[in-house]
Structure formats: C-alpha cells, structure tokens
Chains A and B, each alone.
Chain A
C-alpha cells in the first residue's frame, strides 16, 4: 500500500499537469466580484473573485498590474481574463490574471472584438486599402473636440513644422451620445466638399468608454471610406481603437499625428536647396570639363602649327621631285651623248668637211653647181667655194674631154 502512495509534491504536480493540459483553462474569462484586494510593495496583486455561491483565488503579477488602467475596489464587479493553474506549494488552484476590466467594459470588449472581426472580414483594415499621406499638404482637416489638449497639440506641432499650413477644424463631440455620428459626419463633410488634403481624426487618451466613439461602426466605416487620407490620433500608445485599424496611418498621440500629417517645411526647404546646389555644381563641373576639352583641342599642334600636318608630305614631295630631276638629268645626258655621236657622224658627211680636204664647189651665176664643162661658156663668171671662202673667176676657155 505504501508503495502505491504519492508524495504530496507528486500529487500536486499531477493535479497541476491535469489542469495545464486542459485548453479551456488556459484562457478563461470570468465575471465576479472583487474581494480581499491587496497590492503588495512588490507590485503583485492578490484578491479573490466571488459570486453568491463560490470564491476563486486570483493573483495578478506586477507587469500586468502596472498596465491596468483602473484601481479595482472590493465590491467591484469585473471581467477577469487569465489562466487557471495550480500553485503547488500551497496546494491551491488560482487564476493568474492578465487583465481586469470593470463591469460594462467587459461588454464593450466583447462588442469591440465582434465588430473588429466583422469589419476585418470585410477587408476594411486591409493594408492594400491604405493611402499614402500627401508629402506637402496645403490644408489639414482636424476632427476633434474644440477644447482640450488634443486640438492645441495638433495646432502647435503643425505650426512648428510648417507655419504656412492651413488648418481647418471641424469641432465634434469625441465622447458620449452622438459623438460617433458627429465624427462620421465631419469625415464625410470634408470629403464631400473636398476641404482638406489630409485629415487628423482623434482625441486625447482615455478609458475604453471614453474612446468608444472611435470603436463604433459608423465612425470606423467613415474613416475607411474617406478618399482624403486619414491619420487616426486617439491618444493611447498601447490600445488600438477600430479607427486606428481603418485609418491610413495610426498615430499614438495627437502631436504625433500632426508630425505625420504636416510636412516638415524646413526639412523640405533644405532638401530642395541641396538638390538645387547639386544641379548647379554638376552643371558648372560639366562646363569646366568641356572648357578644358576645348582648351586642350585648341592647344593641340594640329591647330596651333598646321604646317606640321604637311611637313611629312612636303618631304615626300621633295624626295619625289629630286628623284624626278635626277632622272630627267640622266635622260638629258644620255640623249645629248647620243646626239653628239650622231652629230659627229653627220659631220663626216658634211660638204664643208670635203672642202676642208681640198675639194671645192663651183657654181654658175644662177647658183647651179658646175658638174660638166658643157655648162659654162667663155667669159662667164663662176663662183668657187672653198673651205674658208669664195673665189670669183672668169672662164677663159672650155675644153671638153
């Protein structure tokens, strides 16, 4: 018998494992009345939830307790959300509480989740529906309460970023009866009359009830349908309203919304100046570069000393010329040598040469060469040519052979 017995630790471990394996207990929502609420210096909170028939031990650790926005009082009816497991040391099961919501808020949370699921299914929150905010809007439409910090923050930040920005406020109730209707109407009004380039829709932070107008279907649909880009600015870092999901851009606070919506004019002025300077600089550099090229070209020997372009050709021409001249000289010499030979031969045939050898030519008065005694008569004058002159003689007698 002893052999089959559990130790206390073992049985508590076993019960814990049973509860931990039960999916239902891992995320439970329990309605009950708070009693024995104690917050320890460590930050952890201990309390019990009860109704008319039973009690449940609960613990809420420091991290969760710090993000809780209300201070629970004994006697408050709340919705507690968390997981149930066993605290082995004490042998008790208890609720490890993640969230405590006051009565009424629990109902709102349920409504919120339901509407969120419905609109999400319709695609109202889809990323591809989101519009980009204009880079440099002229007019910013503001839909919020005319009193309070939100409108003041939006105006101050917008002015600081761009003093020329046109701000158009559509004052609305942001909580209470009719607030959702007013907000939706304002969004539609801006769109209908095309009064702004971008809209900021929001309010300062508050409890879930105070923010409720931004979770109502009418408002969310108006935000989603807006042709003018919408920045939602419901002042809470941690919680999202349904308007935040539907808006083109979600800002954590009204100030941040203004920063997102209003162009930083100073920044843009610097950017444009910078681009302009680069334009000028690039153009100047280009012109200098071209000027340098031009300088280099006009200093080149071809333009500066064009004769050099021909020098080579002139040399070749000179060479050809002298070759030609030499050739011609040779040719002339050769010809004149030939001529001299021929002239010498010709000289031998000349009658003058014959005369030089002692012969002579005799001619009558009418210049006929005398070759026969019968050509002449007594007393006729004859002219005889010898090598160095002429002899005139008179015929004294003719003797024919």
Chain B
C-alpha cells in the first residue's frame, strides 16, 4: 500500500521525499506492485509541493508592538504599489 503523507509536512521534506521516490523508481529494484505504490506516493507528494508553491500575492504587513507581549498588524504602505 502506498505511504501516507504527514499532514504538517514541510515543503523541503516533501521535496526530499519526492526526490527519494524518483530515486527508488530509477533504481529498478522494486517489484511492479512496489513501483506502483511509490509512483502513487510520488504523485501525491508532487501535489503537496505544488500546493505549497502556488500562493497568491500577499500584502506587506508591519508589526506594531503595543507591549512586549502584544502587537497588532497593519498594512505597510507598499512602495511598489
């Protein structure tokens, strides 16, 4: 059965895992069933990586510390805009 991806996996971990699956497939040491599992797992990892890369443009915010314990965020006047 194909491996499960950890829910809170980091991008670099998912990328490293994906690279490892490609390496496994390239090794030619897997049975057909194992190959299919590795392949499915690799495609899932690829989706996770892409999901983490595909984001929308964000505002620049600035931190206004109201005390050592507290702060609020305000939009920073983006000089590009």
Contact = CB atoms under 8 A, between A and B. Distances in A.
A164 B78 contact: no
Given A135-B12, A136-B12, A282-B25, A170 B62 contact: yes
Contacts of A192: 68
Interface residues of B, number: 38
B43 A136 contact: no
A189 interface: yes
B6 interface: no
A279 B22 contact: yes
A166 B42 CA distance: 28
Nearest to A160: B80
Interface residues of A, number: 39
A272 B18 contact: yes
A399 B73 CA distance: 167
Interface stretch (A105-113, A224-232, A263-271): A263-271
B60 A169 contact: yes
Contacts of B1: none
Contacts of B56: 163-164
A275 to B, nearest CB: 5
Contacts of A152: 79-80
Interface in B61-76: 61-63, 65, 68, 71, 73, 76
Contacts of B65: 170, 185, 189
Nearest to B35: A286
Interface in A128-146: 134-136, 146
Given A269-B54, A272-B50, A290-B32, 17 more contacts: A134-B10, A134-B12, A136-B11, A152-B80, A162-B55, A166-B58, A167-B61, A168-B60, A168-B61, A185-B65, A268-B15, A269-B53, A271-B15, A272-B46, A272-B49, A283-B25, A286-B25
5 contacts: A135-B12, A136-B15, A167-B60, A189-B68, A272-B46
